[in-house]
Amino acid sequence: MTNLTDLTVAEIRDGFRAGDFTAREVASGFNANVAAAKALNAFIVETPDHALAAADAADAARASGDIKPLSGVPIGMKDLFCTDGVQTTAASHILEGFTPTYESTVSAKLWEAGAGMLGKLNLDQFAMGSSNETSYFGNVISPWKRNDGGNAALAPGGSSGGSASAISARLCPAATGTDTGGSIRQPAAFVGISGIKPTYGRCSRWGVVAFASSLDQAGPMARTVRDNAILLEVMAGFDSKDSTSLDLPVPAWEQGLSSDLKGKRVGIPKEYRVDGMPAEIDALWEKGIAFLKDAGAEIVEVSLPHTHYALPTYYIIAPAEASSNLARYDGVRFGQRELPEGAGLQDMYAATRAAGFGPEVKRRIMIGTYVLSAGYYDAYYTQAQKVRTLISRDFDRAWESCDLLLTPTAPSAAFALGEKQADPLAMYLNDVFTVPASLAGLPAMSVPGGLDAQGLPLGLQIIGKALDEQTVLNAGLAIEERAGFTARPEKWW
């Protein structure tokens, strides 16, 4: 008999509808995997009862034909989404014990569609990080190991590292992620799964703990392109509670899936060929170009001249917005409160934030406060916003000659935990290929393209025009079919 936890979202959905198994059997299988994989530290909170309750409701409704889009499908929820009655921490000590009395719009849509929750997934604190090492609850470990005999634990990427690790290890068939500068795409590439950041505004940000409001975007992560399309159809949609939400109909992305790219032009941005890029990344890129050619696409070279300024621009704008968003954590309204004896209000603020925020969060708050200060606002923040506009215009000009772009997702395969901790700039460089699409608010997806010499996954990134998730998904499907990526980590946990 097929192990139910090896099934994809589409296979679980279709098998449940066909009566091949019950939703409770599926939920019980994944609950058992979650309980057996604590060594990965992928979950901050486990919610087996939530998954079983949704499964029992699906089983009861199936008899009457009341089957919902995700009936029988349990998922993981990144612990950045507020969940009614379930602790939501953003992986920070300052929110430890915070239990919302409301549901984020995205999670509410998923529960309404019949999905159940296996638990709240670990992440970099307040989504600030590229390795999942900044979490107050300890780092997530990738289920992958190098094939050269090295025993060093590997980073699952970040900030959605818990989501990535859990999917790759078969602890859940899919999960939610959020992407501010690459936090869905880079971890997906590190563990050999797929993930899509939709156009900014496609998914509501209401009820999602904020990092950088003009960049944060929710999206799905799963093992296949089809699964991402299925999840995204449920997650997307207008929300009057979010002023940045797009008031547009949600396309039938799964129905529109096609790996035939005849008539499509794929741009290869010359600025993404950075000095010192490993030969394996370049070889993967060439392989991806061949895949898309085989699917019928025409390949053209394009230029995005302001790409070199994307990373410094991001690391001015994102910390600036973070310093504003995180000012609400002051010990007064919710979360942790530190009140030293005889302390005044300012002393309480300082003590609470000193104890509640981790080093990386403090670093970004300090950078953001600095660039927003009276003496430096125009020199840094205003200039960064101007460069952001130039980066967006680069993409607009590229679309005159192509329909989508193909690039590597990350400049390397997964690195060892601790390898980049002492050098924040080296850590920030992990986002070099993903940040430009985030600054422009464009849809972008990572799809596994192969393995490096050490047997670790490598990802290819597809960037599309605003609101054209369909072409991005179709190109992802074309790569998926031709790459034939079936590798999975050997169980060691």
Q: What amino acid positions are annotated as catalytic residues?
A: 78, 159, 183
Nearest to 194 by CA among 227, 222, 175: 222
CA dihedral defined by 46, 49, 50, 52, rounded to 10 degrees? 120
Residue entry with tokens 């992928």: 42
Distance between start and end Cα atoms, the chain? 23
> For residue 221, what are the β-bridge partners?
175, 195
Torsion region of 140: left, alpha or beta (phi above 0 gives left; psi -120 to 50 gives alpha)? beta
Amino acid of residue 218 = A
Length, in residues, of the chain: 493
Could you give the CA distance from residue 319 to residue 64 in angstroms, rounded to a whole number?
Answer: 51
Could you give the CA distance from residue 450 to residue 211 in angstroms, rounded to a whole number?
Answer: 32
> For residue 300, what are the β-bridge partners?
267
Strands, E assignment, 50-186: 74-78, 116-121, 174-179
Could you tell me if 52 and 24 are in contact, meaning their C-beta atoms sit under 8 angstroms apart? yes
Which pair of tokens denotes residue 11?
Answer: 């296979």
Residues 6+ apart with CB under 8 A from 97: 87, 89, 335, 336
Q: Which helix (H) or strand (E) holds 222?
A: strand 217-222
Cβ burial 341-371 (10 Å sphere, 16+ → b, else e): eeeeeeebbbbbbeebbbebbeebbebbbbb
Could you give the CA distance from residue 212 to residue 390 in angstroms, rounded to a whole number?
Answer: 20
Q: C-alpha angle with apex 208: 202 to 213, nearest 5 degrees? A: 70
Nearest to 91 by CA among 162, 145, 181, 27: 162
CA Rg value for the chain? 21
Residue entry with tokens 């050490």: 454
